[in-house]
Structure 1
Amino acid sequence: MMDKYYLGIDGGSTYIKAALIKNNEVVITKVLPTGIDNDATVEKMLKEITKEAGISQSDIAYMTATGYSRRSISVVDDTISEITAHAYGTRLTSTDGNIPSVVIDIGGQDSKIIALDENGGVKNFVMNDKCAAGTGKFIEVIAAILETTIDRVAEYSAKSVSPCQINSTCVVFAQTEIISLIAQKKSREDILCGMHISMATRISKLARRYVSKGKKVLMTGGGALNDGLRLAIEDALMCDVAKANYPQFNGAIGAALIAAEQKEKL
């Protein structure tokens, strides 16, 4: 069965991600804005993925969905919880091939801390989905106020000389705080570095109970693409934090691996 294609779809609130795998290797990944019609977005992704892979949809042996909107994606064969999918995904996204002890996933609308056992099973997890602080949306909002884009935030932050102190843990109040810092003529670089430190402080409070000396920590999600945030989390936790391979697609890759397992059981 493993010489067949399997597709995992991670239906996030902001973006839908997909990963096509074959023989336990990632063949193609794709990401599109979720939009208002999940099925239409997934259908578009399927057309693009099959065209790039040179296959037809019937060549995909099994499809599994995970994520926020997984139950509204009708084309899939099965669904799986995002915590389980993210745990499975590390089998392919871990940078050294070893199962991490802790996964820090920073998504668009939530952040997750997942503690894994030596076999990659979920031991425990905690999720922040009640507040945008500590998520990609928080970075996006602050970047817009500072008239830059989310992909340039790390670049600016790295040039900070005197990081600003940002106390607010609510994105609404933080916006007011940022505007005040701008009025004080604080630099974009120092504000963004302060934002990273503020986020890292919040995230590390959730993660610290699961992190111990010698344990591997893997960062996934779109937030892992931001080296400024990753380095700030390293400082807060006082340990190395590795950036996953295919960080945005960890959940989709995990769903694809689960799809392969499910098909083999049939």
Structure 2
Amino acid sequence: MICAGIDIGSRSIELVVVENKKVIETRQTDTGFDPISQAKKVMDGVKFDKIMATGYGRNLFEVAFEDASTVTEIKAHAAGVRLEFPEALAILDIGGQDSKSIRLNEQGRVVKFEMNDRCAAGTGKFLEIMAQNLGFSLDEFGPAALAAQKDLQINSMCTVFAESEVTSLIAKGQDRQEIARGLHLSVVKRAVGMLNRVGAQGPVVFSGGVAQNPCMVQMVADALEKEVLVPNHPQMMGALGAAMIMAEKQ
């Protein structure tokens, strides 16, 4: 039985295909303004028997594809992370436009979670906008923040107000790298606060697109005072989990 999992997020779509519970193919594309058309493109030419959707667009997918099943993002990410890190007891997932913290028990079941999906603050979108304001590409932003000589406090987490604050700091001649570090630190404080509120303990896995940012990974680890585990492909965890849940149902 070949099973697929598709994660239709706000910024990107990931597809993972498994056979006998082993990954045989992965694909990724931008969500764009028409997620179902993009989902069809990413699935084009891919062979599978069953598919399970997750992410914010999962219900649209279920309507468009009658044979599809769905699973919540929380359960999908938990399943995907535990496949790669069986010891994981907590997950921090920061994507393009939402972030979530998840606490697991020893069996990998979700015990408690918190999700921020009503504001761009503390998400990849926030970091992307701030990088643009400072003249960095997204790939440059994390390393630039790591290279800063000192921390700089950013008072606002609201994207609009933070933009104004950054503009003011630039006008005062503040170092760009220090501003970048301050912005990263503000996101980390919010993320670690979410982990603390769900009572996260034990090994923590950082997933989602923002986990590819080296400054975010280091700062989260420093704040938690422990190693933070990062999957080889952190954006694929939701799709991987959905595929594995589908496979286990067969």
Q: Give me the TM-score of the superposition, normalised by structure 1.
A: 0.88
Which residue does the alignment assign to 1:196? 184
2:113 paired with 1:125: yes
User: Pick from 34, 37, 41: which aligns with 1:37?
Assistant: 34
2:55 paired with 1:67: yes
Percent identity reads 39
What do residues 186-219 of structure 1 show as CA deviations (whole Å, max 9, x unaligned)? 222111111111111111111124233xx10000
Alpha-carbon distance in 2 for matches of 1:28, 1:197? 36
User: Structure 2 matches for 1:111-150, cutoff 5 A?
Assistant: 111-150=99-138
Alpha-carbon distance in 1 for matches of 2:105, 2:27? 30
Which residue does the alignment assign to 2:161? 173
Alpha-carbon distance in 2 for matches of 1:27, 1:146? 40
Alpha-carbon distance in 1 for matches of 2:105, 2:232? 20
Alpha-carbon distance in 2 for matches of 1:7, 1:149? 33
Where does structure 1 lack aligned partners over 5 or more consecutive residues? Answer: 51-56
8 Å contact from structure 2 (residues 148, 181) kept in 1: yes
Give the count of matched residue pairs: 246
What do residues 142-197 of structure 1 show as CA deviations (whole Å, max 9, x unaligned)? 01101121122111112111222111121111111111111121222111111111
Amino acid at match of 1:124: K
Which residue does the alignment assign to 1:18? 15
Larger CA deviation: 63-72 vs 144-153: 144-153
Alpha-carbon distance in 1 for matches of 2:192, 2:14? 26
Amino acid at match of 1:22: E
Task: Give, in angstroms, the shift of residue 80 of structure 1.
Answer: 0.8
Task: Give, in angstroms, the shift of residue 93 of structure 1.
Answer: 2.9
Amino acid at match of 1:161: Q
User: Pick from 22, 25, 29: which aligns with 1:28?
Assistant: 25
What do residues 1-21 of structure 1 show as CA deviations (whole Å, max 9, x unaligned)? xxx321100011111111112
Task: Give, in angstroms, the shift of residue 229 of structure 1.
Answer: 0.7
Q: Supply the RMSD in Å over aligned alpha carbons.
A: 1.4
Alpha carbons of structure 1 residues 93 and 151: separation in structure 2 relative to 1, 3 Å: farther
Alpha-carbon distance in 2 for matches of 1:22, 1:230? 32
Alpha-carbon distance in 2 for matches of 1:24, 1:99? 19
Which residue does the alignment assign to 1:238? 225
User: Structure 2 matches for 1:84-123, cutoff 5 A?
Assistant: 84-94=75-85, 98-123=86-111
SS of aligned partner of 2:183: helix
Alpha-carbon distance in 2 for matches of 1:250, 1:93? 9
8 Å contact from structure 2 (residues 71, 242) kept in 1: yes
What do residues 228-248 of structure 1 show as CA deviations (whole Å, max 9, x unaligned)? 011111122222211123200
8 Å contact from structure 1 (residues 71, 79) kept in 2: yes
2:208 paired with 1:211: no
Q: Give me the TM-score of the superposition, normalised by structure 2.
A: 0.94
Which residue does the alignment assign to 2:207? 220
Amino acid at match of 1:211: A
Task: Give, in angstroms, the shift of residue 27 of structure 1.
Answer: 2.2
Where does structure 2 lack aligned partners over 5 or more consecutive residues? Answer: none
User: Pick from 224, 242, 248: which aligns with 1:255?
Assistant: 242
Which residue does the alignment assign to 1:229? 216
Amino acid at match of 2:130: I
Alpha-carbon distance in 1 for matches of 2:70, 2:115? 20
Task: Give, in angstroms, the shift of residue 79 of structure 1.
Answer: 0.7
Alpha-carbon distance in 1 for matches of 2:145, 2:35? 35
SS of aligned partner of 2:92: strand
